[in-house]
C-alpha cells in the first residue's frame, strides 16, 4: 500500500543536499536524498599555459556553487599566477554567497540568474583593450554564456575544473521511493534529468509517466524536464534554496488539498 506522506526526492549532489532537506522539514515534507550525479575534479595542467600574468584576466565568471569552490582550490594551487585575487562575477545569490564564503572577491546583482544575463552584465564592464574573462566550469556546459559572450565580442576562456558524471541509484533506494504516492522529484540540472530518464524511470515500471511531478531549480533545467514529457509542477522563482523549497512546498500543498 502506498503511503500519502508528503515527500520530495532531492536529486542534486552534495554538498547542499542536506541543507535543502532541513529546510523542507519546516513545510512538513520528508526528503529522500537520491543524488543522480556526482562531481569529479579535473586536474589538467595544460590548460594553464596561456595564463601568464594577472593583467590578461579582466575578471572571472562563476556560474555555480561547484565552480566557486573548485576555483578557490585551483587559485590556491596557482597563487603565483595571481598576485591579488581576481574579481568574480556570479550567476545567482547562492553562487555569490559561496564565493564570498570561500574568501573570493565576488559580485552579484539581483537580476543575474542566467548565462544571458551575465553576458549582458559583462558587456557593460568589458573594455576592448583589456584581457579575457576566465570561466571556471564543467567539461560540458549548457553553452549559453559562451554563445552570448561570443556574440558580444567578449573574450571568454574556459577553465575546466570538473565534470559531472551519472550516479545510478541501486534497487533498494528506488524501492524506498516506490512506497510513496506522487513524490515530488526535485531537479537541479539537465544532467540529473537525463539520468532519471535513462536509468531510473525504466526501473519504476509501476509508475505512470503522469504520476511523476517535477520541480526545477531554474529555466534551463525546466526546459530539459519539458522535453521528457514529465509533468513540470513548478519552477523556483529564483535559483536558490529558499525559492526552491517554497516551490516544493506549494506543489505539496496543492497535492494535499
Per-residue pLDDT, 222: 93
| Average pLDDT for the chain | 85
User: Which pLDDT value is given to residue 226?
Assistant: 94
Please, is 45 exposed, middle or buried when counting C-beta atoms within 10 Å of its C-beta (0-12, 13-18, 19+)?
exposed
The phi-psi region of residue 193 (left if phi > 0; otherwise alpha if psi is between -120 and 50; otherwise beta) is: alpha
Residues 185-199 have a mean pLDDT of: 92
Label residue 1 by pLDDT band (50, 70, 90): very low
Q: 121 with 145: CB under 8 angstroms?
A: no
* pLDDT class of 209 with cuts at 50, 70, 90: very low
Q: Which residue has the higher pLDDT, 55 or 149?
A: 149
Burial class (CB in 10 A: 0-12, 13-18, 19+), 2: exposed
Least confident interval from 56-60, 101-105, 150-154: 56-60
SS3 at position 250: helix
Model confidence band, residue 15 (pLDDT cutoffs 50, 70, 90): low
Indicate the burial class of 42 (C-beta count within 10 angstroms; 0-12, 13-18, 19 or more): middle
Q: List the chain domain ranges.
A: 7-36+167-256, 40-164
- Indicate the pLDDT class of residue 232, thresholds 50, 70 and 90: very high
Average pLDDT, integer, range 146-154: 93
Alpha carbons 196 and 229: distance in angstroms, whole number: 12
Least confident of 93-97, 206-210, 228-232: 206-210
pLDDT at 185: 94
- Name the more confident of 28 and 5: 28
246 pLDDT tier (thresholds 50, 70, 90): very high
Longest dimension (CA), the chain: 67
Indicate if the pLDDT at residue 118 is higher than 60: yes
Which residues lie closer than 8 Å to 253 by C-beta, 6 or more apart?
none
Q: Which CATH number fits domain 40-164: 3.40.1440.10, 3.40.50.10090, 3.30.310.50, 3.40.50.11720?
A: 3.40.50.10090
For 7-36+167-256, CATH number out of 3.40.710.10, 1.10.10.10, 3.40.50.720, 3.40.50.10090 equals 3.40.50.10090
8 Å CB contact between 214 and 187: yes
pTM, full prediction? 0.78
Which percentage of the chain shows pLDDT scores above 70? Answer: 88
Helices (DSSP H) in 143-217: which residue ranges? 144-152, 171-177, 190-195
| pLDDT surpasses 70 at 80 | yes
Same CATH fold assignment for domains 7-36+167-256 and 40-164: yes
Amino acid at each position: 500500500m502506498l503511503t500519502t506522506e508528503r515527500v520530495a526526492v532531492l536529486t542534486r549532489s552534495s554538498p547542499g543536499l542536506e541543507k535543502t532537506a532541513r529546510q523542507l522539514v519546516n513545510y512538513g515534507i520528508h526528503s529522500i536524498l537520491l543524488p543522480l550525479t556526482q562531481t569529479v575534479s579535473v586536474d589538467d595542467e595544460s590548460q594553464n599555459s596561456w595564463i601568464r600574468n594577472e593583467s590578461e584576466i579582466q575578471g572571472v565568471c562563476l556560474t555555480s556553487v561547484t565552480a566557486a569552490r573548485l576555483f578557490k582550490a585551483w587559485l590556491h594551487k596557482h597563487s603565483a599566477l595571481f598576485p591579488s585575487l581576481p574579481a568574480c562575477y556570479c550567476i545567482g545569490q547562492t553562487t555569490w554567497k559561496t564565493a564570498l564564503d570561500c574568501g573570493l572577491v565576488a559580485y552579484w546583482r539581483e537580476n543575474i540568474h542566467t548565462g544571458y544575463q551575465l553576458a549582458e552584465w559583462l558587456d557593460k564592464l568589458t573594455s576592448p583593450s583589456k584581457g579575457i574573462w576566465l570561466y571556471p566550469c564543467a567539461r560540458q556546459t549548457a553553452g549559453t554564456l559562451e554563445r552570448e559572450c561570443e556574440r558580444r565580442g567578449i573574450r571568454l576562456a574556459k577553465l575546466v575544473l570538473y565534470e559531472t558524471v551519472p550516479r545510478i541509484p541501486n534497487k533498494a533506494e528506488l524501492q524506498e521511493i516506490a512506497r510513496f504516492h506522487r513524490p515530488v522529484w526535485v531537479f537541479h540540472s539537465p544532467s540529473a534529468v537525463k539520468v532519471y530518464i535513462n536509468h531510473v524511470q525504466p526501473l519504476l515500471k509501476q509508475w505512470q509517466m503522469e504520476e511523476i511531478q517535477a520541480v526545477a531549480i531554474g529555466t534551463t533545467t525546466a526546459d530539459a524536464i519539458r522535453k521528457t514529457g514529465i509533468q513540470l509542477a513548478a519552477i523556483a522563482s529564483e535559483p536558490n534554496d529558499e525559492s526552491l523549497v517554497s516551490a516544493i512546498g506549494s506543489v505539496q500543498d496543492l497535492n494535499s488539498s
